[in-house]
Structure 1
Amino acid sequence: MSEARGPVRHRHEGVVDGRRVVWWSAGEGPVVLFLHGWALSPASYRDGLARIADRGARVVAPALPGFGGTAELPPAEATLAGYARWVTRFLGSVGEDTPVTVVGHSFGGGVGVRLAHDTPEVVSRLVLVNSIGGAVWAAGPAGPRMMSERPWWDWGLHLQEDLGPAWALGRVVPVIVSDAATNALRNPFAVWKVAELARTADLRAELDELRRRGLPVVVVWGRQDRVLPEASLTALRLALGDVEVRTVEGTHSWLITDPDAFTEIITNVLGDAPLAPLLEDTPSAADEPEAPAS
């Protein structure tokens, strides 16, 4: 184990399936397994993760395969289900007791959904933060347009917009650009492959099954997200049914720009406390007209 600079307390290196894995941990208490977003690593979220640990949780945050120094998965395993299986083996290799609270951002949310669906004994509750899986890009008169139809240039345009307003640039740009650039240079194929997984992920059936099982799920969403538009959130909510959905001010990466809000949300979830007044309620899926079936 080697010490890391910055608020995340410990950086570890080990082996899962005979391949290198890098992960971060901090704190003592109920375990929060954090799964990061596309092209990033836990380093991008270190401020919020350290503060959650300081509030009485044990945060465990692996760099997912292909990112942050963790070896990529074999090609046959490079699917959302394959990533979820890897997470289960990772938890066993580092000796973490399960079930755990899983917090997944963006691509990490999709991995969390498959983890909860495929290995329910591992996940006690799930927090989806601007997560992939809703699969819908936009509503239309002929029915929903799927995320897989979205042009790559449109993804790139809105990803650039997601860097946020001027007040956040000083924090977001150095963190995200440094992390993403390092991952892209180290393993460009993995970055591309995961981008394609995120773009085409349709987890509505898995989300519906989690609803049927009664798994506690909280959805938290930055209202100004353009990387995953509102139609995707609506589809995700419809699949989950009467789930707790809260919104915050911010873009797709709001939890990086506002670690205090992120800390408060996760602390309240762990303590089963109400999230208001920090967050605003959104109408339940039952209050909205159902989207046409795809």
Structure 2
Amino acid sequence: MKRMTSRVRVAGQTIPVDEWRPQAGPTVVFLHGYGRRPEHYRMLEHLAADQGFRVLAPFLYPNNALAQPPRSFRACVALTRALLQELASQDRLQGSYTVVGHSTGGSVAQCLANLHPTPGAILALNPVMPVAYGPWGFVTRAARIAANQLLGRSGPALRGWRLHLRHGGGQLANLLRRADVSWALAKDLSGLQLQEIRLLYDACGSRGVRFDLPSAVFQARGDEFFRVPSDLRAWMGLVFDRFELRELRDLRGHEWPLMHPELAAQKVAAWIVGRARLPGAEELTRLTA
């Protein structure tokens, strides 16, 4: 499977976009979490492409190399909308497409229902639930991931004290910059109460006009950071006529798409084939059965 990385100029910034391109197949836009980068999901993306999907994975949100990363949830949504509209103008979305997001990317995906061109379906994998935790729930997670990256546990190990001195300063500066942006976003997310989230999604629904497109939340059990509000179905029903909440009893933890990429790719592909009305999706049935 062939992967290419292009750079798209939008909103005054240059955003890298990974693209996994089979010969043909429906398009899936994958949105990563704010403490992650598309590289962390490449196994999942590769497996999804192997099942016949054309996957686009932009580098968004604070944990990236953008000159001015978004510092609020609304800014994340605005940047994503601008990027997808630019990709559409370049004819890279190629008709109907599905938006799939994990963590913050999942919550952003749910706010794209009134985007033009309209997605064919929206799927959120363990999206952030701001009503469940204060800012420390976000910050401790981001700090742990960043520390692992700095110490080489999530990438090439830093070998020897000379290498630590040579590269540690630049990595530390980048870590501090990301921590500042992550803290700003964490405070914004933790301050969004359920009513505000409901109003935000209602605004996404063009002032109460509900969308007749498939939308779902896949939530693994034992998410150590976020839990599903008891009335999630009700307030998501304000936006989507066809909404599904699926508890994944065979999986645990917030990072399950990263820990089990093959299973995640199968579940995503099966849901798209079963729910979405995408050109070419029917042809994938034999691959996801």
TM-score when normalising by structure 2: 0.69
- DSSP-derived class of the 2:122 partner: strand
Task: Give 5+ residue unaligned stretches, structure 1.
Answer: 1-6, 138-146, 163-172, 275-294
1:220 to 205, 218, 224: 218
Q: In structure 2, how many angstroms separate the alpha carbons of the residues matched to 1:80 and 1:32?
A: 19
Alignment of 1:196 with 2:187, yes or no, is yes
User: Residues 258 and 181 from structure 1, CA distance in 2 versus in 1: closer, same or farther, beyond 3 angstroms?
Assistant: farther
2:125 to 125, 129, 135: 129
1:16/1:89 contact within 8 Å kept: no
1:207/1:236 contact within 8 Å kept: no
1:258 to 260, 264, 267: 260
1:20 to 7, 14, 24: 14
User: Residues 224 and 160 from structure 1, CA distance in 2 versus in 1: closer, same or farther, beyond 3 angstroms?
Assistant: farther
Q: In structure 2, how many angstroms separate the alpha carbons of the residues matched to 1:74 and 1:105?
A: 17
TM-score when normalising by structure 1: 0.68
1:16/1:93 contact within 8 Å kept: no
2:97 to 94, 97, 100: 100
2:4/2:19 contact within 8 Å kept: yes
1:80/1:197 contact within 8 Å kept: no
Aligned to 2:42: 46
Task: Give 5+ residue unaligned stretches, structure 2.
Answer: 146-152, 159-170, 277-289
Q: Aligned letter for 2:198?
A: R
2:33/2:105 contact within 8 Å kept: yes
User: What is the aligned residue count?
Assistant: 242
Aligned to 1:279: none
Offset from partner CA, 1:8-48 (integer Å, 9 cap, x none): 72222342234221111102311100010012111111111
What displacement does 1:161 show? 9.6
User: Residues 76 and 240 from structure 1, CA distance in 2 versus in 1: closer, same or farther, beyond 3 angstroms?
Assistant: closer
Q: In structure 1, how many angstroms separate the alpha carbons of the residues matched to 2:174 and 2:255?
A: 17
1:205 to 180, 185, 199: 199
What displacement does 1:130 show? 0.9
- DSSP-derived class of the 2:274 partner: coil
1:219/1:244 contact within 8 Å kept: yes
1:79/1:197 contact within 8 Å kept: no
User: Residues 27 and 82 from structure 1, CA distance in 2 versus in 1: closer, same or farther, beyond 3 angstroms?
Assistant: same
Alignment of 1:56 with 2:71, yes or no, is no
Q: Aligned letter for 1:51?
A: L
TM alignment of 1:15-164, pairs within 5 A: 15-28=9-22, 29-73=25-69, 79-92=75-88, 94-96=90-92, 97-116=94-113, 118-119=114-115, 121-132=117-128, 134-137=129-132, 147=133, 150=134, 152=136, 154-155=137-138
What displacement does 1:67 show? 3.6
What displacement does 1:90 show? 4.0
Offset from partner CA, 1:181-209 (integer Å, 9 cap, x none): 89635644433333333333443235464
1:36/1:64 contact within 8 Å kept: yes
Q: Aligned letter for 1:197?
A: D
Aligned to 1:243: 243
Aligned to 1:4: none
Q: In structure 2, how many angstroms separate the alpha carbons of the residues matched to 1:66 and 1:161?
A: 15
1:204/1:236 contact within 8 Å kept: no
Offset from partner CA, 1:37-75 (integer Å, 9 cap, x none): 012111111111110001100000000154433342577
Q: Aligned letter for 1:247?
A: E
1:65/1:72 contact within 8 Å kept: no
- DSSP-derived class of the 2:219 partner: strand
User: Residues 101 and 71 from structure 1, CA distance in 2 versus in 1: closer, same or farther, beyond 3 angstroms?
Assistant: farther
User: Residues 155 and 111 from structure 1, CA distance in 2 versus in 1: closer, same or farther, beyond 3 angstroms?
Assistant: closer
User: Residues 54 and 183 from structure 1, CA distance in 2 versus in 1: closer, same or farther, beyond 3 angstroms?
Assistant: farther
| RMSD (Å), alpha carbons | 3.7
Q: In structure 2, how many angstroms separate the alpha carbons of the residues matched to 1:100 and 1:237?
A: 24
Highest CA radius of gyration, 1 or 2?
2
Offset from partner CA, 1:80-115 (integer Å, 9 cap, x none): 442343333442365323442000111112221222
